Amino acid sequence: MIIKKSDFVTSAVTKRQYPEDKRTEIAFLGRSNVGKSSLINALTNRKKLAKVSSTPGRTRLINFFLINDDFHLVDLPGYGYAKVSKTEKARWGKIIEEYLISSTTLKRVVLLVDSRHKPSADDVMMYEWINYNNYDVVVIATKSDKISKREKAMNEKVIKDTLNLKPEHRLIFFSAVKKDGREEIVDLLFEDLASK
């Protein structure tokens, strides 16, 4: 699929602020600073569609982006950032949970993990939650330009084993710097969603 058009639609905190047009949605989940915004920008070939920050924890709202006037990408707040209060973490958690539970048009969840590290307890919990709720899931290991081929092979096994990744769920390594994996991700995520 070719992404010809991508636009920011709205930011939301509660269900009543979500878009009401009932377009199919793909949600992006991951720890703070794992590279959700960078991935969305790379997929859409837009440098500043999603705001990228060097400071973790900046995405505190749910951001909706319209792709090809056809479906939405949904950028959810990052989780697991240590330098915010427990109250703030709980608030972010509620924002994420409300969206995942209440969205009637969510088709697929993209879980981002850092390719350099073993998935965190939060990553494992999120993957298990996605499975429990029977969402189609794709796991993307970001920042792959920062590891060697040997490390990639080792880390792939660690990621799969730690998450207990199901055979039918894909794991793709991605570099926002080199755009490695972009075409594969676009085809995998969007091909069956695009209008014919």
Tokens of 117: 């590290």
Here the tokens at position 139 are 């796991």
Q: What is the pLDDT of residues 62-102, one digit of tens each?
A: 999 999 999 999 999 888 654 555 665 566 578 888 899 88
Class of domain 6-190: alpha beta
Give first-to-last CA distance, the chain, whole Å.
11
**138 pLDDT above the threshold of 70:** yes
Q: What is the pTM of this model?
A: 0.88
Q: How far apart are CA 100 and CA 88, in angstroms?
A: 19
Question: What whole-number distance in Å separates Cα of residue 142 and Cα of residue 115?
Answer: 5
Question: Tens digits of per-residue pLDDT, 103-124?
Answer: 889 999 999 999 999 999 989 9
Instruction: Please check the confidence at residue 195 and state whether its pLDDT lies above 60.
Output: no
Long-range contacts of 128-132 (CB under 8 A, 24+ apart): 129/100, 130/29, 131/166
The residue extents of the domains of the chain are: 6-190
Instruction: Extract the tokens encoding 82.
Output: 């240590």
